[in-house]
Structure 1
Amino acid sequence: MEFRNGSMTAVVAVLGALFGLGLVTIVYGSLRRPDREVRAGAVRSLMERLPENWTKRRVTVAGVTGIAVGALTAWPVAAPLTTAALLTLPGLLGPDRQSARRTERMEALATWTEMLRDTLSAAAGLEQAVLVTADIAPTALERELGSLAASVRGGRPLPAALRVFAEEADDPLADVVVAALVMAAAQQGSQLGPLLGELAESVREQVAMRQRVDAGRASIRTGVRVTVSVTLGMAVGLVVFNRPYLDPFDTVAGQVVLAAVGALFATSFAWLTAIGRVDEPVRLMSSATPHDPAGRGAVPGGTR
């Protein structure tokens, strides 16, 4: 049975369009972020796992493009495959900006910790040291440290301001530094300088280790880019320059085979992404509760 014959082509195009619109509607609904108090636990967990770069605009463009490809090729399977590819492949083939940003923030945290240590060694108090170093903060943490300094100058207690800073920084290593500073502010610790020096050295070691890991992952990502680029280039070339070669995919059996091949590629790409992902440590500072904007409910040793 040929999908290209007569009215069947129109039916397939309509079905593909409906499928694409349904997919866009489902993902759009997932990205709406309704009130946390009315969401079911399973739905909340699913939405939190969605990539942050899956914006409404990107999902809409991917869905519309998938519908167009499905209509042009008269292959119903082409619509979901194209949509999935446009949503996932840019993150897999493009530069790992998230890892680079994470490394940059770790280096900034180490630099700020060393600045605190050096300022404290000049007989400055902890609060004064925080204010002085925040004004010359490293670029990667400039916004968070600027907010910290503004909170302290506004009269917020230093421990509460530090907890809010930890929440904004959203980094396990920042939690360790903040926990030490909070305890020092509460107990007037006299050995904070040497402790901050050890923490800075530890962060530097973490940065060096992450850079070695990123260097090893770079070769894997290069291999993935070459494989995916050659595969997609060959597929597009056949569709554009040698369409009769793909006539077997116009049948029902051909669509089933195409769906199976697409599923295998999707599984392999997902596996390659998973083996290249670095799991982040568990955070030590709990989140500030909605009823406690000052962050006083966030205590060292909590879980996120």
Structure 2
Amino acid sequence: MTPLLPGLAGGLVALGILGIVVGLRPAPVVPKQPRKNSGRGRFVIDSRTRMLLLIGLGLGIVGWVVTGWVLALVIAPVAVIGLPVLLSAPPAATQINRLEAMEEWTRSLAGVLTVGIGLEQALVATLRSTPGPISAGVTRLVSRLRARWDTETALRAFADELDDATGDLIAANLILAARRRGAGLTSVLEGLAESVAADVRARRQVEADRAKPRSTARWVTVISASVLVVLALSGSYVKPYGSPIGQVILVVLLAAYVATLVWMRRMATGKPLPRFLDRRTDLSLGSGVTP
């Protein structure tokens, strides 16, 4: 068996692992906008990824020259690009900040409503004090209201932009309040803000507990990689891995370790609650979400 075959097998396995890592990377939350026909799709790699890829290729070439391992040409780039993604914290902090912003905005809206102005005027009045994570959505909501949109239609569009179960709950209460035009919305919003605040506290505690095993995995990975590099450069312990069969075994072991990291990250990434409000949902006053 020539060294090319285990190198090719290792490359295929590494590319598969890299595909899993890229697939697990969270997509940024952006408002839904109409798609523009660009004529053809393009695969774009950002400057940071290109830099990491060049560093990984350089390290792989050095490792190949020093140790004679063909797999170093694949392992180094995959490790440089993939390990920071697998060992970084999931995007829970962004989600928690958005929830906290919704809680602050709901509490602010409840305070404005206590002065006795209408719902639409209260929504406009909260624009200046809206927290940053949801300021774009509230700005568009106010713009629609100023453009004489129907209040319910504007609130449903606002819920679609938030794309969150908690945002649906807030928007549903506001829609029902716009229909009834009665008293009681202030107390409902205050209670809802307290519920969201409790959810935020619980999520922060969960993330603090999840950070401990992530830190442990990070240190274990750094120590293991350092020991492997030192042994590969100076010791005879890893000499059997230089053979074709040894290269295949090394790929299997590294793939198993990466699979463990992927499994750990998937367990630490919470699934968002499903939404219940869209532009086709028919809210009734007897549905239990009433002001």
AA at the equivalent of 1:193: T
Q: Deviations over 1:109-133 (max 9, x none)?
A: 1111111111111101000110001
Change beyond 3 A, Cα 1:83–1:158: farther
CA 1:159–1:87 in structure 2 vs 1: closer, same or farther (change >3 Å)?
farther
State how 1:31-42 maps to structure 2 within 5 Å.
none
1:93 aligns with 87
How many pairs are equivalent?
Answer: 262
Equivalent residue in structure 2 for 1:284, among 269, 276, 288:
276
Task: Indicate the RMSD between aligned Cα atoms, in angstroms.
Answer: 3.5
For 1:56, the equivalent position in structure 2 comes to 45
Whole-angstrom CA distance in 1 between matches of 2:139 and 2:12: 48
TM-score, normalised on structure 2?
A: 0.76
Match for 1:94: what amino acid? S
> Which residue in 2 is equivalent to 1:159?
152
CA separation of 1:55 and 1:111: change in aligned 2, threshold 3 A: farther
Whose RCO is larger (CA < 8 A, sep 6+)? 2
1:209-241 per-residue CA deviation (whole Å, 9 max, x = no partner) reads: 1111112112111111111111122223334x4
Show structure 2 runs of 5+ residues with no match.
29-42, 285-291
Which moved further from structure 2: 64-73 or 149-158? 64-73
Is 1:259 paired with 2:251? yes
Check the 8 A contact 1:62/1:82 in 2, yes or no.
no
Q: Report the CA distance shift for 1:66/1:176 in structure 2 as closer, same or farther (over 3 A).
A: same
Instruction: Quote the residue 1:119 is aligned against.
Output: 112
Residue of structure 1 equivalent to 2:227: 234
Q: Name the structure 1 match of 2:205.
A: 212
Separation in 2 of the partners of 1:125 and 1:55?
A: 48
Residue matched to 1:171? 164
Structure 1: where are the runs of 5+ without partners?
A: 32-46, 287-295
From 134, 142, 164, give the equivalent of 1:141.
134
C-alpha deviation, 1:70, in angstroms: 5.0
Deviation (angstroms), 1:300: 5.8
Q: Deviations over 1:152-205 (max 9, x none)?
A: 112222222222222222221111101111121123242211111111111011
**1:157–1:212 Cα change, 3 Å:** same
> 1-side partners of 2:179 and 2:44: how far apart?
43
CA distance in 1, matches of 2:52, 2:184: 56
SS at 2:269 equivalent: coil
Q: Using a 3 Å threshold, how does the CA distance of structure 1 residues 50 and 230 change in structure 2: closer, same or farther?
A: closer
- CA distance in 2 between counterparts of 1:198 and 1:166 reads 19
Partner of 2:239: 247
Please say if residues 77 and 258 of structure 1, whose CA atoms lie closer than 8 Å, have aligned partners that are also in contact. no
- Aligned counterpart in structure 2 of residue 222 of structure 1, from 205, 215, 222: 215
Is 1:188 the counterpart of 2:177? The answer is no
Matched, 1:271 2:256: no
Q: Looking at secondary structure, tell me which structure has more helix per residue.
A: 1
Q: Which moved more, 1:248-257 or 1:277-286?
A: 277-286
* Residues 158, 95 of structure 1: alpha-carbon distance in 2 compared, 3 angstrom cutoff: same
Alignment partners' CA distance in 2, 1:191 and 1:142: 26
Query: Where does residue 32 of structure 2 map in the other structure?
Result: none
